[in-house]
Structure 1
Amino acid sequence: MRHRARTRRAAPTAMLLAVALTASLAAGCTGHGRDGDDRGPDHVPSPPGKSAATGSPLAVKIDNVRAARPQTGLGAADVVYVEEVEGGLTRLMAVYATRLPETVGPVRSARESDLELLRQFARPTLAFSGAQRALLPLIDQAPLRAQSPDAIPGAYDRDPGRAAPHNLYLHPAALLPAAPGEAALTTGFRYGPAPDGGAPVSARTVRYPAARLTFTWSAERGGWLVAMDGEPTVTTDSGRPAPPTVVLQQVTVRASGYHDVLGNRTPYTETVGSGRAEVLRDGRSYDASWSRPAATDGTAFTAADGSRLDFAAGQVWVVFVPAP
């Protein structure tokens, strides 16, 4: 059955607040012409310390411009990463381990820094619409299963009710027989009761040159209502996202060696290293530090006193914010 993304639209009802920062989107891309499975299941080794027994999650690159909304499948994600791309816009990477939605999208292209981010998992499946031609060899060599429409066309279809390129949708069941389970989430995140301290906060806004995201605490939902560009974020299949934990992670963002069709350099988000972060949970804000010593490691978050900072159970949104 073909997906119809027009299924549920919510009327915009807006509110919000602000804090500031910077970012970017869209580039000309070409298809990825190789099936990640044609090299055999053991061709690409798992990262050190991780094995096939851990399970391999599904990561999907999701469009995040106005024309791509409302998106589909975000509610089922265990982690949603917000990363910058060209043009001052943002793109999402949704990671699925505990459950798979029927449909996810709109699916868009991959970036170089996605490969570093995904090294924390044991040979994950990456679903994406394509990539710049010069980047394709790096994707082929990365320890992941690259599954674009060129590689496995039966996993994708296009919604004729939307304009390309914002109309490509993935059916995860065509890539994974079942959700791999919680053990596949080797993110380094730890979950538990709220830590002591923190400051009450009702909302936070992150600003990029051509986009902004706002997270507003909802005691009724027990999470942070997401808004983008001043409008409530909704999905076609699960209503409005309200992740219990939101992380604003300060990272180094530099120009990569790749560029879009207009010659703009693609931003590279460095997720290995350390830095400052703000963790939002239970209506409070916690100052934190993050550390990811190597690409094969998950990311640890610690409170000001050096203790591990636990996240609330449920979905986590990680917003990569350029460090000042």
Structure 2
Amino acid sequence: MRRTARNRRGPALALAAAVALSLAAGCTAGPGPDDERPRRTPPGTAGGTASVLAVKIDNAPAARPQTGLEAADVVYAEPVEGGLSRLMAVYATRLPQTVGPVRSARESDLELLRQFDRPVLAFSGAQSKLLPLIDRAPLLTKTPEEAPGAYLRSPGRSAPHDLYLRPGELMPSAPGAHALTTGFRYGAAPAGGTPETSRTVRYPAARFTFTWSARHAGWLVAMDGTPAVTAGGGRLAPQTVVVQYVRVRDSAYRDFLGSATPYVETVGAGPARVLRDGRAYDVHWKRGAAQEGTRFTTADGAPVNFARGQVWVVFARAA
């Protein structure tokens, strides 16, 4: 994506409460340098929302451990330039104190987010030619330029891996489970399946491994061979993991090195593998339109229930 000149660092914290929160999070206030152009503030983005908060989160090795991932209801993992990965965390039932590091948006994020009713999207910037599409999308954007008081810079991290969001500055409270219009169903495990203790999904320059842990009642996450932990040192362990095989094509956008940005097609149909309770289920996914959620069914068309708790969806290139 396009690299731009550094923004000026914002002033020191103006309020004592903000100072205390920043010190607790190990951060300083205000937007600062990033690797991509900040988005201009569009008209008509003021006001509240009853929809989810989606945050684009850095997943480069220098960005780990991330903060706030454990509080997300859904975490999407997607391929980006150079064969690397990036995350989108979706929050509905609770808002963490801090989330990050926050990074930039991609074109396919707009299609993925259409399943929600005017979601709030927090991100750090976008390729300049993509900005008009973001402006027209049915969502509420909150970049560091649009909501500077909601963002912090961590002095312990180097740019661009140092930008963090305080969700409470964007939304008064979590909207609730009703805002999760993903199409996911939760309940008792489906019949069948096969025992599975570990599953790895590989991108050209990144990989995710999920290992079942009865003690954690979830799938321990490893990224590039390293255990994924919270900012407090606990393990990330979602209750359900979905490996969703999708078409991945080049978008019309390129990064500053000239590499094409991948476009992940989340509308359509194809195979998927659902991991829950130490078992794996080969299923079929279908999303008929961008405004719809995704349905997962067995070979006979029966809906597939996920385990209650956090869901990770890893988009993998279809064969």
TM > 0.5 between the two? Answer: yes
2:110 corresponds to 1:90: no
Contact 1:68 1:106 in 2 (8 A): yes
- The code of the aligned residue for 1:239 comes to G
Contact 1:6 1:236 in 2 (8 A): no
Equivalent residue runs for 1:203-222 within 5 Å: 203-222=198-217
**Residue 14 of structure 2 corresponds to which residue in structure 1?**
none
Q: Provide the identity percentage.
A: 66
**Residue 2 of structure 1 corresponds to which residue in structure 2?**
22
Q: Deviations over 1:279-308 (max 9, x none)?
A: 000100000000000000000000122100
**Residue 38 of structure 2 corresponds to which residue in structure 1?**
31
Count the aligned residue pairs: 293
**Residue 181 of structure 1 corresponds to which residue in structure 2?**
176
Q: Deviations over 1:52-82 (max 9, x none)?
A: 7xx3000000000100000000010000000
Deviation at 1:39, TM superposition (A): 4.5
2:54 corresponds to 1:59: yes
**Residue 233 of structure 1 corresponds to which residue in structure 2?**
228
RMSD over aligned CA atoms reads: 1.7
TM-score by length of 2: 0.89
**Structure 2: distance between partners of 1:169 and 1:187:** 26
Contact 1:5 1:72 in 2 (8 A): no
Query: Which secondary structure does the structure 1 equivalent of 2:184 belong to?
Result: coil
**Structure 1: distance between partners of 2:262 and 2:176:** 32
Q: Deviations over 1:228-262 (max 9, x none)?
A: 01110001047211111000000000000000001
Query: Which secondary structure does the structure 2 equivalent of 1:2 belong to?
Result: helix
- The code of the aligned residue for 2:76 comes to Y
Deviation at 1:174, TM superposition (A): 0.7
**Structure 1: distance between partners of 2:177 and 2:186:** 12
Q: Where does the alignment leave 5 or more consecutive residues of structure 2 unmatched?
A: 1-20, 28-33
Change (3 A) 1:252 1:58: same
Contact 1:198 1:285 in 2 (8 A): yes
Q: Where does the alignment leave 5 or more consecutive residues of structure 1 unmatched?
A: 8-26, 43-51
2:288 corresponds to 1:293: yes
Contact 2:62 2:161 in 1 (8 A): yes
Equivalent residue runs for 1:150-165 within 5 Å: 150-165=145-160
Contact 2:37 2:125 in 1 (8 A): yes
Greater RCO, 1 or 2 (C-alpha within 8 Å, sep 6+):
1
**Residue 3 of structure 2 corresponds to which residue in structure 1?**
none
**Residue 167 of structure 1 corresponds to which residue in structure 2?**
162
Change (3 A) 1:284 1:152: same
Query: Which secondary structure does the structure 2 equivalent of 1:252 belong to?
Result: strand
Residue of 106, 115, 132 corresponding to 1:120: 115
**Structure 2: distance between partners of 1:120 and 1:6:** 35
**Residue 140 of structure 1 corresponds to which residue in structure 2?**
135
Contact 1:204 1:215 in 2 (8 A): yes
Q: Deviations over 1:4-26 (max 9, x none)?
A: 7679xxxxxxxxxxxxxxxxxxx
Deviation at 1:219, TM superposition (A): 0.7
